[in-house]
């Protein structure tokens, strides 16, 4: 089972792991289960492109995670490597930069 430090980290993991057909898009239904003493977040849904069922289970950390935009506490992720975080940060900064370039200076504060 995957170990997530927060629901944000679980969602990022799912966002980075495509369906067999290559699509990342699926409607996620979420529920929490208590298994023994472990809190397990279960995400299920159907791929919008091919209709395959998708299923992820994450054992959630016992500690309350820090507020967003953090993905967890000081310990390293056990499901995402640093390179994946760098790639996501690069895409986000590139998108933000392009958005700024395409807006008038008067809207940059937004």
How far separated are the first and last CA of the chain, in Å rounded?
40
Q: Comparing 27 with 56, which gets the higher pLDDT?
A: 56
Please tell me the pTM assigned to this model: 0.83
Residue 50 contacts residue 20 (beta carbons within 8 Å): yes
- Asked if pLDDT for residue 108 goes beyond 70, the answer is no
**What's the pLDDT at 6?**
94
Angle between helices 82-101 and 7-16 (to 10 degrees): 80
- Asked if pLDDT for residue 109 goes beyond 70, the answer is no
- Asked if pLDDT for residue 24 goes beyond 90, the answer is yes
pLDDT tier at 101, thresholds 50, 70, 90: low
3 state DSSP class of 77: coil
Residue 60 contacts residue 41 (beta carbons within 8 Å): yes
Q: Comparing 72 with 108, which gets the higher pLDDT?
A: 72
**What's the pLDDT at 102?**
73
Residue of 107, 83, 102, 74 whose CA lies nearest to 5 = 74
Residue 108: count of CB within 10 angstroms of its CB: 9
């Amino acid at each position: 089972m995957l170990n997530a430090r927060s629901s944000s980290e679980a969602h990022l993991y799912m966002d980075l792991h495509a369906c067999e057909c290559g699509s990342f898009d699926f409607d996620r239904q979420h529920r929490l289960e208590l298994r023994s003493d472990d809190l397990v977040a279960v995400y299920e849904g159907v791929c919008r492109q091919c209709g395959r069922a998708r299923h992820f289970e994450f054992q959630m950390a016992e500690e309350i995670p820090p507020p967003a935009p953090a993905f967890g506490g000081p310990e390293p992720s056990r499901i995402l490597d640093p390179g994946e975080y760098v790639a996501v940060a690069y895409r986000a900064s590139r998108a933000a930069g392009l958005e700024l370039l395409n807006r008038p200076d008067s809207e940059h504060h937004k």
